[in-house]
Amino acid sequence: MTSRIKASLSAIALVLFTGGPAAAESISAAAFHSKVVSLYSFEPRTLGKESLQAKSNELDEFWSFAKANVQEVLPLLRSELGNPSNSSFFFYDGAKL
């Protein structure tokens, strides 16, 4: 993947994740938690092929954003991984980082 495509994807993820072009460091713990809950409130076995692919794309954007903004996201991610109310699927994905 070229750096131009990566930059475009990061920009798209930033807009999707934060709701606008604000700096990543302005992400609040509450906003991050809401995003985790909204992304991981599903059961893969209940989704059809197209829905599963769409959800996979959403998750890829989220994790691409997290990897591109490690300084800002890592403390939030650690906090979410310590929250027992989150989805086990989130714990699996989060632990892979």
What length does the chain have? 97
* Percent of the chain with pLDDT strictly greater than 90: 65
- Over residues 23-32, the mean pLDDT reads 77
Span 61-70, mean pLDDT?
A: 93
30-60 CB burial, b ≥16 within 10 A, e <16: eebbebbeebbebeeeeeeeeeeeeeeeebe
| pTM greater than 0.85 (yes/no) | no
pLDDT at 69 over 50: yes
State both tokens at 35.
């995003």
Would the pLDDT of 25 be above 90?
no
